[in-house]
């Protein structure tokens, strides 16, 4: 596997040239988040990612995590790298300063997180899960709970986990059976949870499990689920660690990838019941969880981008080095000069740049939704965030797999061999379309909750903005802007037409909308990526016209956008028929015919 | 992993209802290849595939192949299964009766082969490679060489391998360096070959390596390559095995998948030179190899279909069993009732049916190209075969990966765990777009040799036939035929437009054609699959109209075609812009900008 070099130049471009940092600086508490500060933070992060976290990615994959007598031994170097991460304060970027956080915007947190995931996806999942626990407790914890857990989780001294899934309860989380019996000021938790990421490990002294369970008289289904804090070690009044709680990791899964990330079967209460503390109200656990999940979905979408970036860097390095064939004068040709290889690399590059811009823009909107003081602006940001979250999650993770697979293809035969590391990216990427709500669930969420529920208002606002970008492209001049305007306009038309169809036919029969959901989300993502490419083109063209900055860099940005315009956006119109007519066969096929 | 049930019903439909067997029966030597015979052969094959070969697929993946003191130990049960395969005469289906073959058409051989690959891809590669060696020797061997090797290779008593690749010589096979020095009636071979599938194993007494090498005064590049037979054990005059030849397997690759198939680094001549026998003329080795490769490419295309079929069967079984959510009356819902899961399953099913029809049709054309006595008909078949071969190879193998990945997705979280076996299909499928000429090479072959070279004649003949099918659909009536006509006509228009562009702009600047090659091949495959869906629809509609056969089966065929029409074919038009305009960025991007 080749080295990882954080793409700080493109990060800087997205944050500054696309106007994200200027928007952030208008938010209360973010006035000082300026370019210099952010560049400095990311420069430091890139050192840790490149020199400490990335080098243990391959070895972690080979070694995996092992369960020995109830203890999970992590791969060589993982614990050291984690300690350096904690010592550097990297876990605390976007969190509340009252509990030791740095109070920086999510935008900065996301950019740093991109680096951890690119460097080492398996390792990065541990802080990603902790972030979820921090989110939950920050939003729903009591002052006491916050005082007990938040400092340690925000510093990274302890890690957090999410315990939702049970064998019979996956996408249908309402089917879960883990029990919680009240006992004094706490509950006794009994049950088994599966697929618990970093559920047990040897990197920290304590692990704080966030567990969904049912109280004895809870209603059935998703309305009878409560959320509990269940620490591995109970915490004494003075904050020191007390007795071991009644929970354990009983086995680890054997997975296609992210092998160094222990995926645990967790058993609670084999010895009488694990002690758990209610978060929020009884039976409102799923609502609490949803606060966290939306944020987590953006993080998982980010992981699609991050693995794609790593796969791309590796593919480019190979393509620059590998000679096959010769040029017109008999000189050896590196494969980066073969048109079909360039096509693959540009597919990867332009998709990555579109994803990065989209994810960072969404992170900026997340910051706005949390910090805007003006209720109208806050509401607008929240609506946009809700709309884009399933798109970011599903579109970026599907692309992540596609791009990692293309990275293998660039390598030819040697790419299929584990020694190159190209296939590790493919293996690692394949989980992201599944967890944190499968991409099918994301698509359902998009059509049902984000488009149909408000009568298409948020979607149409978004499309209006895309059309304004098209107008700006028309005014900008240049070949790239012209091609992008043509294809983005056509794609926006397709999105309008299918949104109208959803509002008409899809609301008349929601199973038609569900049959259309996945191609609709793909269309939405393609347009959203195109919109970011439009903003990128406008910025790059302005920089070139104004002779500011490095012309090679801005020319390359135009080239990525041009590729996206000519090659990716034209696929949008091909999704109209699947959305509009797909239900005929999808709903019509007899069950026995499969 | 679930059991494998050979899809004999659909095979029967493709062979009979689509008119393939009737066409075969018109060929000399195939008069008796009737439905009853073929059904009986496939029924027997399905038993061996389902009860012997399939059950060792998972265990083979877990165990892999191991190199111990120069001997490759194959996984438990592999050798036994191979012996049963040989004893049943399954290796000999399409080969020359003069050397013990059954003289059946390739169509029947391909159908049986689909089963071996579906059952156990890693295992099936061993006979697939032997088939290549038989092809080569049948076409280019001397009478003596045929007498010495063909019987044993056709029976399967010995196996064969192909030795092309060297570290510096992959797609650019002309860069190979293995030497062949003449010595009496043979040559001494010295050099190292990599990626040799089943290059060493313990299933047979002898292995016949077909090795590309250079004689001392050979021209450089691909015009100086000769082909040699290099047996593991030399063969005595009386056919018994003589001394061990100077060749050995020095290591095995660690691969993403097909782990039970030993991929060998082979070293020739460490002890003075391996004895090899020239096949054909000196310096004409690549031409010999190409005879075999075209056939091998159809087999690899078939493997895309076969793994997809296995992944589909497993996904359907899971979707029928897995309950998530509940219906309107609170009854538990199996996920096969969820629209998005049905959409995935229909994507898999309709693509598989299109691929099967296309591959079997191509096999029929292969039979025609080999057996037609009328020179005009023979030439027409050869031209069509040449045109379709790269399409079958690349389109089916790309789809194979996509469908295997979709099979994982249907499973949700558990699909990512190795225990289900869903990811094995993904891992196993990923090699097929790479070997036997990467899919990028196939696309180049399609545009340069198959479209540009004859001025588009073969391509336009093909498109004319597609248009006749559209007309027949228009005449047939029914919703499926109508939708298929609409979308297939539009796709044919796209293929016409882009073929014209290739002939104009692509022949003016071949690097533009190469930049367009991959989307052009995808478009071609999408149309070719649509054409087979049209033939399927016409046959199914006729059967329903005529009240012949099982109406449920034919209705299901219409439903698959309807899905393909509404969901797959509409993507075709989205490929016009990438083909026509993709080169702007592909050729324009600065090399430093990657």
Whether residue B455 is found in the same domain as residue B537: yes
Q: Quote the pLDDT of residue A371.
A: 97
Q: Quote the pLDDT of residue B192.
A: 98
- Is residue A233 classed as helix, strand or coil in its secondary structure? strand
* Chain B nearest C-alpha distance from A97 (Å): 36
Sequential DSSP letters for A285-307 = HHHHHHHHHHHHHHHHHHHHHHH
- Is residue B462 classed as helix, strand or coil in its secondary structure? helix
Decide if B335 is inside a domain: no
pLDDT digits (tens, 9 = 90+) for B8-48: 999 999 999 999 999 999 999 999 999 999 999 999 999 99
Whether residue B89 is found in the same domain as residue B171: no
Q: Quote the pLDDT of residue A194.
A: 98
Question: Would you please indicate which residues of A are annotated as catalytic (active-site) residues?
Answer: 436
Q: What is the mean pLDDT of chain A?
A: 97
Of residues B168, B409, B440, nearest to A434 (C-beta): B409
Structural domains in chain A (count):
3
pLDDT digits (tens, 9 = 90+) for B381-402: 999 999 999 999 999 999 999 9
Whether residue A104 is found in the same domain as residue A200: no
Instruction: Check CB contact of A433 with chain B, cutoff 8 Å.
Output: yes
**Residues B202-230, buried b or exposed e (16+ Cβ, 10 A)?**
ebbebbbbbbbbbbeebeebbebbbbbbb
Give the A window 503-522 contacts with B, CB below 8 Å.
511, 514-515, 517-519
Instruction: Name the domain boundary from A284, A319, A345.
Output: A284
Q: What is the DSSP letter of B166?
A: B
Q: Quote the pLDDT of residue A330.
A: 86
φ and ψ at residue A272, rounded to 5 degrees: 115, -15
* Chain A nearest C-alpha distance from B171 (Å): 7
Q: What is the DSSP letter of A255?
A: B
Instruction: Give the range of the structural domain holding residue A517, as residue numbers without chain letter.
Output: 440-588
Q: Is the pTM of this model over 0.90?
A: yes
Give me the mean pLDDT over the B570-578 stretch.
97
pLDDT digits (tens, 9 = 90+) for A371-408: 999 999 999 999 999 999 999 999 999 999 999 999 99
Chain-centroid distance, C-alpha B507 = 29
Rg value, chain A, Cα: 24
Whether residue B189 is found in the same domain as residue B113: no
**Residues A409-431, buried b or exposed e (16+ Cβ, 10 A)?**
bbbbbbbbbbebbbbbbbbbbbb
Residue A143: pLDDT band with limits 50, 70, 90: very high
Q: Is there a catalytic annotation at residue B353?
A: no
Question: Of A265, A557, A120, nearest to B585 (Cα)?
Answer: A557
| SS3 labels along A195-211 | EEECCCCCCCCCEEEEE
Sequential DSSP letters for A12-47 = HIIIIITSHHHHHHTSTT-TT--HHHHHHHHHHHHH
Instruction: Name the domain boundary from A114, A135, A155.
Output: A155
Instruction: Check CB contact of B588 with chain A, cutoff 8 Å.
Output: yes
Decide if A213 is inside a domain: yes
pLDDT digits (tens, 9 = 90+) for A509-537: 999 999 999 999 999 999 999 999 999 99
pLDDT digits (tens, 9 = 90+) for A312-344: 999 999 999 999 998 888 899 999 999 999 999
| Beta bridge mates, A66 | A73
Domain of A255, CATH number, reads 2.40.110.20
* Chain B nearest C-alpha distance from A171 (Å): 7
Whether residue A115 is found in the same domain as residue A236: no
Question: Are the Cβ atoms of B563 and A589 closer than 8 angstroms?
Answer: yes
Backbone CA torsion sign across B354, B359, B362, B368: negative
A172 interaction partners in chain B (CB closer than 8 Å): 324-325
Q: Quote the pLDDT of residue A32.
A: 96
Of residues B346, B434, B577, nearest to A585 (C-beta): B346
B423 interaction partners in chain A (CB closer than 8 Å): 256, 430
Chain-centroid distance, C-alpha A449 = 20
In terms of Cβ atoms closer than 10 Å to its own Cβ (0-12, 13-18, 19+), residue A290 is exposed
Is the ipTM reported for this complex over the cut 0.90? Answer: yes
- Is residue A246 classed as helix, strand or coil in its secondary structure? coil
What span, in angstroms and rounded, lies between the C-alpha atoms of A203 and B280? 65
Instruction: Name the domain boundary from B268, B283, B298.
Output: B283
Whether residue A91 is found in the same domain as residue A226: no
Q: Are A432 and A400 in contact (CB under 8 A)?
A: yes
Whether residue A17 is found in the same domain as residue A67: yes
Question: Of A452, A512, A431, nearest to B343 (Cα)?
Answer: A512
| Beta bridge mates, B249 | B266
Decide if A498 is inside a domain: yes
Give the A window 354-413 contacts with B, CB below 8 Å.
401, 405, 408-409, 412-413
pLDDT digits (tens, 9 = 90+) for A232-287: 999 999 999 999 999 999 999 999 999 999 999 999 999 999 999 999 999 999 99
Sequential DSSP letters for A553-577 = HHHHHHHHHHHIIIIIGGGGGGGHH
Whether residue A98 is found in the same domain as residue A207: no
Decide if B189 is inside a domain: yes
Helix axes A121-140, A285-321, angle to 10 degrees: 150
| SS3 labels along B216-268 | CCCCCHHHHCEEEEEECEEECCCCCEEEECCEEEEEECCECCCCCCCEEEEEE
Decide if A477 is inside a domain: yes
Residue B461: pLDDT band with limits 50, 70, 90: very high
Distances (CA, A) of B175 to B168, B170, B222, B224: 7, 8, 7, 10
Give me the mean pLDDT over the B230-255 stretch.
98
Sequential DSSP letters for A404-449 = HHHHHHHHGGGGGBGGGSHHHHHHHHTTTTTSSS-HHHHHHIIIII
Greater confidence (A585 vs B289) lies with A585
Residue A162: pLDDT band with limits 50, 70, 90: very high
Whether residue A198 is found in the same domain as residue A140: no
Domain of A103, CATH number, reads 1.10.540.10
Backbone CA torsion sign across A151, A213, A188, A251: negative
Q: What is the DSSP letter of A240?
A: -
Decide if B188 is inside a domain: yes
Question: Are the Cβ atoms of B593 and A559 closer than 8 angstroms?
Answer: yes
pLDDT digits (tens, 9 = 90+) for B140-162: 999 999 999 999 999 999 999 99
Instruction: Check CB contact of B482 with chain A, cutoff 8 Å.
Output: no
Whether residue A74 is found in the same domain as residue A184: no
Percent share of chain B, pLDDT over 70: 100
| SS3 labels along B105-158 | CHHHHHHHHHHHHHHCHHHHHHHHHHHHHHHHHHHHCCHHHHHHHHHHHHHCCC
pLDDT digits (tens, 9 = 90+) for B481-537: 999 999 999 999 999 999 999 999 999 999 999 999 999 999 999 999 999 999 999
Residue A1 above 80 pLDDT?
A: no
Whether residue A199 is found in the same domain as residue A213: yes
Question: Are the Cβ atoms of B566 and A584 closer than 8 angstroms?
Answer: yes
Give me the mean pLDDT over the A531-554 stretch.
97
Residue A18 above 70 pLDDT?
A: yes
Chain-centroid distance, C-alpha B391 = 11
Whether residue B130 is found in the same domain as residue B184: no
Q: Are A397 and A433 in contact (CB under 8 A)?
A: yes
| Beta bridge mates, B334 | B323
B323 interaction partners in chain A (CB closer than 8 Å): 168
Pick from A13, A333, A340, A583 the residue to mutate for testing the B interface (most B CBs within 10 Å).
Answer: A340
Decide if A430 is inside a domain: no
Decide if A516 is inside a domain: yes
Residue B222 above 70 pLDDT?
A: yes
Q: Which residue of chain A comes nearest to B252, CA vs CA? A: A417
Residue B1: pLDDT band with limits 50, 70, 90: low
Length of chain B in residues, anyone?
Answer: 594
φ and ψ at residue B2, rounded to 5 degrees: -80, 165
Pick from A320, A416, A512 the residue to mutate for testing the B interface (most B CBs within 10 Å).
Answer: A416
Question: Of B282, B315, B343, B479, nearest to B408 (Cα)?
Answer: B315
Q: Which residue of chain B comes nearest to A579, CA vs CA? A: B567
Residue A544 above 80 pLDDT?
A: yes
């Amino acid at each position: 596997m080749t080295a990882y070099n954080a793409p700080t130049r493109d990060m800087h471009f997205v944050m500054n040239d696309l106007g994200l940092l200027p928007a952030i600086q208008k938010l209360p508490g973010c006035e000082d988040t300026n370019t210099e500060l952010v560049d400095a933070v990311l420069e430091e992060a890139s050192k840790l990612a490149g020199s400490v976290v990335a080098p243990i990615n391959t070895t972690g994959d080979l070694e995996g995590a092992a369960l020995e007598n109830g203890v999970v031994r992590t791969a060589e170097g993982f614990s050291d790298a984690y300690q350096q991460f904690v010592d550097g304060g990297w876990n605390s970027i976007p969190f509340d300063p009252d509990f030791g956080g740095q109070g920086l915007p999510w935008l900065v947190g996301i950019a740093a997180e991109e680096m951890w995931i690119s460097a080492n996806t398996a390792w990065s999942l541990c802080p990603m899960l902790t972030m979820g626990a921090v989110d939950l407790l920050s939003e729903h914890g009591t002052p006491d709970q916050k005082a007990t857990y938040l400092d340690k989780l925000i510093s990274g001294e302890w890690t957090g986990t999410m315990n939702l899934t049970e064998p019979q309860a996956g996408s249908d989380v309402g089917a879960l059976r883990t029990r919680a019996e009240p006992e004094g000021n706490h509950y006794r938790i009994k049950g088994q949870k599966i697929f618990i990421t970093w559920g047990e490990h040897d990197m920290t002294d304590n692990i704080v499990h966030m567990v969904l369970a049912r109280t004895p008289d809870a209603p059935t289904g998703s309305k009878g689920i409560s959320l509990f804090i269940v620490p591995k070690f109970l915490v004494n009044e003075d904050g020191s660690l007390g007795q071991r709680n009644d929970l354990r990791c009983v086995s680890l899964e054997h997975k296609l990838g992210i092998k160094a990330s222990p995926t645990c079967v967790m058993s609670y209460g084999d010895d009488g019941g694990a002690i758990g503390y209610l978060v929020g109200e009884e039976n409102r656990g799923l609502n609490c969880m949803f606060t966290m999940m939306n944020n987590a979905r953006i993080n998982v979408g980010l992981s699609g981008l991050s693995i794609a970036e790593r796969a791309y860097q590796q593919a480019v390095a190979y393509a620059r080095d590998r000679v096959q064939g010769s040029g017109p004068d008999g000189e050896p040709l590196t494969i980066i000069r073969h048109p079909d290889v360039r096509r693959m690399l540009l597919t990867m590059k332009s998709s990555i740049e579109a994803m990065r811009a989209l994810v960072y823009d969404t992170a900026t909107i997340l910051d706005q939704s949390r910090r805007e003081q003006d209720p109208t602006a806050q509401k607008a940001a929240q609506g946009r965030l809700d709309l884009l979250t399933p798109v970011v999650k599903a579109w970026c993770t599907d692309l992540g797999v596609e791009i990692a697979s293309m990275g293998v293809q660039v390598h030819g035969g040697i790419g299929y061999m584990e020694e190159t590391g190209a296939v590790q990216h493919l293996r690692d990427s394949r989980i992201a379309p599944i967890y944190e709500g499968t991409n099918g669930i994301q698509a359902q969420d998009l059509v049902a909750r984000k488009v149909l529920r408000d009568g298409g208002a948020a979607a149409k606002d978004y499309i209006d903005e895309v059309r304004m970008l098209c107008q700006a492209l028309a005014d900008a001049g240049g070949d790239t802007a012209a091609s992008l305007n043509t294809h983005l306009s056509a794609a926006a038309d397709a999105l309008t037409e299918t949104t109208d169809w959803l509002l008409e036919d899809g609301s008349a029969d929601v199973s038609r909308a569900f049959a259309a959901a996945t191609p609709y989300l793909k269309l939405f993502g393609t347009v959203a990526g195109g919109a970011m490419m439009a903003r990128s083109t406008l910025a790059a063209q302005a920089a070139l016209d104004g002779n500011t900055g490095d012309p090679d860099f801005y020319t390359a940005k135009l080239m990525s956008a041009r590729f996206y315009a000519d090659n990716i956006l034209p696929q949008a119109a091909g999704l109209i028929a699947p959305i509009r007519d797909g239900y005929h066969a999808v709903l019509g096929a007899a069950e026995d015919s499969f």
